[in-house]
Amino acid sequence: MKLLNQTCLAIFLALPSAANAQTEEKSAPQIQVNVGDVTDNRTTSAFNSECKVELKFTGDAAADAQSVRRVQLTEATDSTGRDLIPKDDGENSPRPFGFGQSGGALSTEVRLRNPSRNATAIKILKGHVELFNPTEANGGRLTIKNILQHPAEPVQNPSLAKYHIQLMYLTKAAYDAKKKEIESQQNGDQKLGEAFGQLFKGMFGGMVSDSKDSIQLYIKDPDKRIIDLKFVDGQGNPLKSNQSWSTDDFRSTGFDTPPPPDTQLNIQLATPESLKTYSFQVENIALP
């Protein structure tokens, strides 16, 4: 069941450093949060039970941000005192290709454990939220020029290397050729690195198509720092895609026509400088 557009409000304060907490807290930008949809499926079945709360942010800090990257809960209990924080913290972990604007408001969905069947409300929801505001200056926006010029070769970029992100453009022909080269060289894994060596040794090639109307990328992003990927031409004009699909390490984007040779890849990257953390607390959220 869903409960729509609750009027609960809370104030977020930027987390200050310990040394300057008193001074910085007074000048920290404030944002407000509204509780949107609440979904609560209370059941004795472990497979179908869930509770989700939508949080929508407004105010100056939210207006400056592009998306919510992560919510970390420190306290969540229902009206009976039951702890609602998921045992698997991955429920609210950083989201690749993360959430953006929804209906004009910055929003995200928080997943909780199943409330008690006797609970009438979420008594408290407390924690920290990371807001993402990428610029070139803070390293949140990267451009990889001529991404199509070196298929089956690791992209060399200091920012990607700094965050242990491995990226490679693939075509079917280049993949097959590189795989044969590695198979014929005893030190092939050392030449490309362990991750890329395993890429060409496994069954990964079955996902790589020979379509000329698509761009296929191998992406290894251990900390889920890549928020978004977009392709543009040499002048920076967006290429209109018609479909895309992805797995943990592979992303395929299709186009109506073959992308131009000077295609560039724009990356939005969650760097420490592009993220700001705010504390929040919401109380007495009614359960449907």
DSSP 15: P
Mean pLDDT of 93-100: 48
pLDDT at residue 23 in the model? 35
Q: Between these two residues, 253 and 105, which has the higher pLDDT value?
A: 253
Tell which phi-psi region holds residue 284, choosing left (phi > 0), alpha (psi between -120 and 50) or beta. Answer: left
Rounded Cα–Cα distance for residues 127 and 85 (Å): 11
Mean pLDDT of 217-244: 93
| Confidence class for position 20, pLDDT limits 50, 70, 90 | very low
Weakest-pLDDT range from 28-42, 93-107, 149-163: 93-107
Rounded Cα–Cα distance for residues 29 and 70 (Å): 19
Crossing angle, helix 172-184 and helix 194-201, to 10 degrees? 110
Query: How many other C-beta atoms can be found within 10 angstroms of the C-beta atom of residue 164?
Result: 12
Average model confidence (pLDDT) across the chain? 82
Q: What are phi and psi of 62, to 5 degrees?
A: -70, -35
**Which tens digits make up the pLDDT trace of 253-273?**
999 999 999 999 999 999 999
Q: In the chain, how many H helices and how many E strands?
A: 6, 16
| Confidence class for position 220, pLDDT limits 50, 70, 90 | very high
Residue 181 scores a pLDDT above 70: yes
Rounded Cα–Cα distance for residues 49 and 113 (Å): 8
Residue ranges of E strands in 117-220: 121-132, 141-144, 166-170, 214-220
Strand duo 214-220 + 166-170: pairing: antiparallel
Rounded Cα–Cα distance for residues 241 and 72 (Å): 34
Q: Are 193 and 220 in contact (CB under 8 A)?
A: no
Strand partners, 276: 131
Query: How many other C-beta atoms can be found within 10 angstroms of the C-beta atom of residue 178?
Result: 21
Percent share of the chain, pLDDT over 90? 53
| 226 residue type, one letter | I
Nearest one of 216, 215, 242, 232 to 268, comparing CA atoms: 232
